[in-house]
Chains A and B, each alone.
Chain A
Amino acid sequence: MLKVSALSVDIVGSDGVAARIVDDVSFDLAQGETLGIVGESGAGKTMLALAIMRLLPAIARPSGEILLGGDNLLALSETDMCAVRGRRIGMIFQEPMTALNPAQRVGTQIAEGLILHRSLAQREARQQAIDLLERVRIADARRRVDCFPHELSGGQRQRVGIAIALALRPGLLIADEPTTALDVTVQKEILDILDELVSDLRMSLIFISHDIGVIGRIADSTLVMLGGRKMEQGPTARVLRAPTAAYTQSLLAAMPRRTRGSLARTQEPPR
């Protein structure tokens, strides 16, 4: 459903110097598949996600092709792209507090897309917002829909973020480090919710993280990035248990033994 071919992003500085922060990345994403993109800071993962959404800053110039169900996203006008965002692609960000408008009730924020794109009436949109909150397992949704972001915990805010992204039932969801700022027990709940929703709604998910353990938990296939380039790609189990690229091997070697699991304990070099 998504085919990325030779995607590159160049940043042109004020002095005319161009730096390539995403370098010739290609991958395919099938309907209902979850792709995990893993890499360290500066690897270009977020820029890749922003390029797909066409939300790059003005100084970044993308090139290549991004085919979403036949449409080349890089060739669309801004107006057409606005119709794609939210409707066909939803995005979840890292910081739940800054991704939500602190001055608006969460119900309003969820309903915004519904009213804008589907021309729903206020009451109907509010009902759907409540349904969505229940879907992301927020207790007492009927009351919570009128809360402001600061009245909710970090985990709850991230669930609201997911609800907003799902509101228009996009076919593709892009999640950029959605659990990095959360506690590990909250992270588990969020991953469980995402897992369930993606299956129920048969959505495709691109999950970006620097945490290999999380990628291992949620991704069907994994793409490893370094310095803007694709280092390795394949089914998650294969990439994480029997990596072929040297970089992937060094990443796994750097992981704490516990996270690497029992496989690591058998493969451990003598200390």
Chain B
Amino acid sequence: MSGPALLEVRHLTRDYKLRSGDGLAARTLRAVDDVSFAVEQGSVLGIVGESGCGKSTLARIIMALDRPTVGEVVFEGESLFALSAGALRQRRRDFQMVFQDPYGSLDPRHAIGRIVAEPLHLGGALTRSERTMRVAEALEIVGLKATDAARYPHEFSGGQRQRIAIARALITRPKLVIADEAVSALDLSVQAQILHLLMELKERNRLTVLFISHNLGVIEEIADRVGVMYAGRLIEIGATRDVLHHPQHEYTQRLLDAEPTLDVIGRSGHRSAQASG
């Protein structure tokens, strides 16, 4: 890592208390276990892991939507959880998130323009025309039309809704965007388009992206560096090429082996590959 770190996560731990049925004994679930890493400005860090590994919890903590039990999140040198509520609110301009479900992340009762403009509450007061202009700008960046601002979510497809969600995430011109399984629910062709869009934004606007996914193929396309999470721990992190071609950890190897590629096709092909491999 050569450049300055935009985001630094230090020893993050998040425990949940679970009450058993009788309400007496309490178990502790450690969703995130001593996770530390840094993200360089203008780079894409991929976080890969299966369900229950804690990646979504990690994302929420970084977005300051949840407090860690231990640890800190340092954004541009400032520790987020040490800020006052007002200061933190101002800081939210600089980091935003895109979620997995294109059907749940947009309020069905609001027009697109209103949805995309929502984060503008964080900025200073904007006049009506300024707001309209910013919305139009954001929609155009993601490949939609300014006139779409008057339409409603149900008029758009899954891929288009995800673009709207990205427009909303970009409208405050943030420095960091977390994409939490943002393309997982999309069709293959749409997925490719959205990834392409994110890559473009990274190149053009020096956008820093934290890309969470369970799909190694997607991670390899978009991430400069990748971290592997398992049971709340960050078990491996490094340059994408290194991690995916020379994994250090046994679990990473298991993930790599599990994902089907077209190198081996068909049942018989697999059986002979397994026999020899």
Contacts and interface: CB of A to CB of B under 8 A. Distances in A.
Check A-B contact in the complex, CB < 8 A: yes
Interface of A: 34, 40-41, 154, 183-188, 191, 195, 198-199, 210-214, 216-220, 236-237, 240-241, 250-251, 253-264
- How many B residues are at the interface, by size bracket? 20 to 34
Given A34-B267, A183-B51, A188-B257, A256 B221 contact: yes
B155 interface: no
A98 B214 CA distance: 23
Nearest to A258: B217
Given A183-B214, A195-B267, A220-B266, A257 B189 contact: no
Given A183-B51, A195-B271, A256 B262 contact: no
Contacts of B191: 254
Contact of B261 (A210, A250, A251, A261): A261
Given A213-B262, A214-B260, A217-B270, A40 B221 contact: no
15 contacts: A40-B188, A41-B158, A185-B50, A185-B255, A191-B260, A195-B267, A212-B188, A213-B259, A217-B270, A254-B188, A257-B217, A260-B261, A260-B262, A261-B263, A263-B263
A185 B267 contact: no
Nearest to A221: B266
Contacts of B255: 184-185
A162 to B, nearest CB: 16
Nearest to A183: B50
Interface of B: 50-51, 158, 187-189, 191-192, 214-218, 220-221, 244, 254-255, 257-267, 269-271
Contact of A258 (B50, B188, B261, B270): B261
A184 B251 CA distance: 12
Contacts of A264: 262
Contacts of B50: 183-186
A262 B263 contact: yes
Nearest to B195: A256
Given A213-B260, A240-B262, A258 B216 contact: yes
Interface of A is mostly: helix
B155 to A, nearest CB: 16
A164 B116 CA distance: 47
B262 A257 contact: no
A251 B189 contact: yes
Contact of A216 (B51, B218, B262): B262
B265 A258 contact: no
A94 to B, nearest CB: 13
Contacts of B259: 184, 213, 258-259
Nearest to A184: B258
Contacts of A261: 261-263
Nearest to B189: A254
Given A185-B255, A241-B262, A258-B261, A195 B189 contact: no
B265 A256 contact: no
B189 A40 contact: yes
Contacts of B217: 213, 255-259
B258 A187 contact: yes
B19 to A, nearest CB: 17
A253 B189 CA distance: 8
A214 B51 CA distance: 19
A257 B265 CA distance: 16
8 pairs of A and B residues whose beta carbons are closest in the complex: A256-B217, A261-B263, A183-B50, A254-B192, A40-B187, A217-B260, A213-B260, A259-B217
Contacts of B267: 34, 195, 198-199, 217-220
Nearest to A199: B267
Q: Which of B187, B221, B255, B262 has the most CB of A within 10 A?
A: B262
